[in-house]
Amino acid sequence: MDSFIFKGLPTRVIFGRGKLAVLGHEVERLGLTRVAVLTTPQQRATGQEIAGQLGPVLCAGHLDTATMHTPLEVTEDALAWCREHRVDGLVPIGGGSTVGLSKALSLRTGLPQICVPTTYAGSEMTDILGQTIDGKKQTQRGPEIQPQVAIYDPDLTDTMPIPLSITSGFNAIAHAIEALYAVDANPIIEYIATEGIRKLVGAMPELEGPNSRAARDEALQGAWFCGVSLGSCAMALHHKLAHVLGGSFNLPHAESHTALLPFSIAYNEPALNGQLDTARHALRTDNLAQAIFDLAKTLGAPTSLAEVGMPADGIDAATEIAISQPYSNPRPLSREGIRALLDDAYHGRRPS
């Protein structure tokens, strides 16, 4: 057996239907009395309701300015708001955009974070922060970014629209796929990542059917596992490309992950030696890239970057950005190879 190092994540996880009710207890447990509830504008009503439940004894107010890809200017405005309201903790309610704003604020202030995810993005389980600065997405990692608490309540995902649920699910699966071939992968993460993939692949087709409630439970638990996978391992090509496309072209994050994933897998597979075997077994396939592509198509998710808004003339620019900084990846990066990957992904050509 190969040797390995495994370090468990420090985030306290509370999972189960109705568990939003313990939010006030968690705020008190951390000794906080003036938390800021954060949301996007689209989740304003949910944020206001939760801020009201916490009440003035625990909550300083609700801020609904979280934006996709965490632009620096949005963070700076939110930072001024937090200082004005003497905020002593952060409660992001939502997906990657809201958790991203919370992480950006925490990085600058040291404020603790109690995350309440309502999507399958998984950011709440990672020490990763991606910020858009001067039109480019810059990513950093560090223990100071890791949230202190994550409360997973499937009740909050029941109203997530099906299209968003599906792309958010593929976003989570992408975390697990990259963890399986990460340079610092280990048997514990292999198990967690594979189980996350299995749960999501099984749940996503059932989200609209008579078993939707149970499927939502499975999907959120799978997303948690996938988030743990990403939070425990180094990112590779797929996440780098997703960040490039988001920061440079403002493409929607989950949809970009969905459209890219089959092609990232196809690019890396020639350099792998069985690392994706467990994922193939989870999807009952011999060709993982094709299986992911076909599942996305069956579930009505985007299968091309053109569908999610990438301009055709952006392929060359994205290629140059992607290869401009070295990072770990199973297959060496080449300008020709990355451009071909992006061209296939742009046109949505089914992987061979």
pLDDT of residue 327: 83
> Does the pLDDT of residue 163 top 80, yes or no?
yes
Picking from 85, 130, 141, 92, the residue whose alpha carbon sits closest to that of residue 114 is: 92
| Span 219-238, pLDDT tens digits | 999 999 999 999 999 999 99
Strand partners, 14: 151
> Does the pLDDT of residue 7 top 90, yes or no?
no
Cα-only R_g, the chain = 19
| Span 99-132, pLDDT tens digits | 999 999 999 999 999 999 999 999 999 999 999 9
For 88-142, the DSSP string reads -EEEEEESHHHHHHHHHHHHHH---BEEEE-SS--GGG-SEEEEEETTEEEEEE-
Q: What is the mean pLDDT of residues 85-112?
A: 98
| Contact call for residues 291 and 266 (beta carbons, < 8 A) | no
> Which residues, at least 6 apart from 344, have a Cβ–Cβ distance to it below 8 Å?
263, 266, 351
301: enclosing H helix or E strand:
none
DSSP 8-state symbol, 33: S
| Contact call for residues 348 and 303 (beta carbons, < 8 A) | yes
Burial class of residue 204 (count of CB atoms within 10 Å of its CB; 0-12, 13-18, 19+): buried
CA distance 337 to 64: 41
| Contact call for residues 98 and 66 (beta carbons, < 8 A) | yes
| Span 30-71, pLDDT tens digits | 999 999 999 999 999 999 999 999 999 999 999 999 999 999
Q: Tell how far CA 29 is from the center of its chain.
A: 27
Domains of the chain: residue spans and CATH: 12-157 (3.40.50.1970), 162-347 (1.20.1090.10)
For 22, the token pair is 């313990």
Amino acid present at 95: G
Give percent above pLDDT 70 in the chain: 100
| Contact call for residues 90 and 36 (beta carbons, < 8 A) | yes
Picking from 40, 89, 105, 82, the residue whose alpha carbon sits closest to that of residue 48 is: 40
pLDDT of residue 232: 96
> Does the pLDDT of residue 85 top 70, yes or no?
yes
For residue 1, what pLDDT band results from cuts at 50, 70 and 90?
Answer: low
Q: What is the mean pLDDT of residues 82-109?
A: 98
Q: Tell how far CA 343 is from the center of its chain.
A: 24
Exposure class string for 279-313: b at 16+ Cβ within 10 A, else e: beebbeeebbbbbbbbbbeebebbbbbeebebeee
For 81, the token pair is 């708001």
Q: Tell me the pTM.
A: 0.95
Q: What is the mean pLDDT of residues 232-260?
A: 95
| Contact call for residues 171 and 164 (beta carbons, < 8 A) | no
41: enclosing H helix or E strand:
none
> Which residues, at least 6 apart from 32, have a Cβ–Cβ distance to it below 8 Å?
58, 88, 89, 112
pLDDT of residue 326: 79
> Does the pLDDT of residue 300 top 60, yes or no?
yes
Mean pLDDT of the chain: 96
> Does the pLDDT of residue 213 top 60, yes or no?
yes
Exposure class string for 41-72: b at 16+ Cβ within 10 A, else e: eebeebbeebbeebeeebbbbbbbebbbbbbe
**Helix, strand or coil for residue 328?**
coil
> Does the pLDDT of residue 334 top 80, yes or no?
yes
